[in-house]
Amino acid sequence: MFAMQNGDRNRTYKSAARVVDDMLNRKWGYIALFGMLFIITVLLGWVLLRPESSSAEALTREEAKSLVENRYGGNVSFLQADKQLYYAKLDIQNHSYEVKVDSKTGKILSIQWMQTLNEENPSPALSEDEIKSLILSKAEGELVSLEKTTRGGKPVYNGVVRDPDGTATIVTVDAETGELLSEKTSPANPPRRLTENEAIAIAQKEVKGELDDVDLETENEQSFYLVEIKTPDDREATVQIHAISGAVLSVAWDDSGTD
């Protein structure tokens, strides 16, 4: 009888051990399951919420180089990535320019003249197409007017860029280097400037005679016409006329040719 009791006790111990083993196995199974779910959740969160990779990923270096060269011509001799920007050194004829490009959108943010590459043999003045590209890089819109004048004895280009709202931006650049000299925004309906013929007519009312020459000049951000008139008695007068108002600013006589 005592042996039977021992046998029953052993079977009870074995059953309890199996229950404990089952509980431990189930516990570790839950731990493994929750561990896998946690890892999957972390990976999904990283994929969905990870920050963007490199700032220049949207536009490769080769794409940025091709974009600048195709737009302005010339050759990109140096290209550097910095955060969300590309800085390109663009060589056109004998001039170098720094072009700033948004690496995500490909938008040209600015273009600035840097230097003349060969100071001993400087290149000729930039072409009108190059000037147009430079002016349009300074102001967005349609280039509606481009005129070559002088400022301080140096040739300059005045370009008028009008945006879709009608606002006009007057951009003045150096005709030889392309350097930005001034940029002014005018109202949607800026004052109209006199034509050469209108300025000549005003000058000939002031001084009777034949037209010898006419020039449009800008000084201290004021534009005016210089109209040279030759009189019947062989004298010559230079009439200065305000390019907007048409007012006669001065009349200068050159009597060096008379006795």
Q: Which pLDDT belongs to residue 34? A: 64
Residue 2 clears pLDDT 50, i.e. is over it: no
Q: Which two tokens stand for residue 246?
A: 């048409």
Residue 118 clears pLDDT 80, i.e. is over it: no
Please spell the DSSP secondary structure of 55-84, one letter per residue: TTTTS-HHHHHHHHHHHH-SEEEEEEEETT
Hey, how many other C-beta atoms are within 10 angstroms of the C-beta on 169?
18
pLDDT digits (tens, 9 = 90+) for 182-192: 888 876 566 78
Q: Which pLDDT belongs to residue 54? A: 41
Q: Which pLDDT belongs to residue 110? A: 87
Q: Which two tokens stand for residue 117?
A: 């590459």
* pLDDT more than 70, % of the chain: 71
For the chain, the farthest-separated pair of C-alpha atoms sits apart, in whole angstroms, at 162
Least confident stretch, 43-52, 71-80, 87-96, 129-138: 43-52
Quote the CA–CA distance of 229 and 211 in Å, as a whole number. 5
pLDDT digits (tens, 9 = 90+) for 151-192: 777 788 888 888 877 788 889 988 888 888 888 887 656 678
Q: Which pLDDT belongs to residue 84? A: 85
87: enclosing H helix or E strand = strand 85-92
- According to CATH, the topology of domain 61-114 is Nuclear Transport Factor 2; Chain: A, (3.10.450)
Q: Which pLDDT belongs to residue 212? A: 92
* CATH 3.40.50.300 holds for 196-254: no
Q: Which two tokens stand for residue 4?
A: 């039977």
Residue 129 clears pLDDT 60, i.e. is over it: yes
* CATH 3.10.450.40 holds for 128-186: yes
Q: When comparing pLDDT for 221 and 3, which is higher?
A: 221
CB 159, CB 131: distance < 8 Å: yes
Contacts of 225 (CB under 8 A, 6+ apart): 194, 196, 199, 203, 214, 215, 216, 217, 240, 241, 243
pLDDT digits (tens, 9 = 90+) for 194-239: 999 999 999 999 999 999 999 999 887 788 999 999 999 889 999 9
Q: Which pLDDT belongs to residue 9? A: 55
Q: Which pLDDT belongs to residue 220? A: 73
Q: When comparing pLDDT for 105 and 53, which is higher?
A: 105
Hey, how many other C-beta atoms are within 10 angstroms of the C-beta on 77?
12
Residue 57 clears pLDDT 90, i.e. is over it: no
Q: Which pLDDT belongs to residue 30? A: 61
Q: Which two tokens stand for residue 194?
A: 């006199």
pLDDT digits (tens, 9 = 90+) for 130-150: 888 888 888 888 888 888 887
DSSP β-bridge partners for residue 113: 97
Burial 224-246 (b: 16+ CB within 10 A, else e): bbbbbbbeeeebbbbbbbbbeee
Quote the CA–CA distance of 240 and 246 in Å, as a whole number. 9
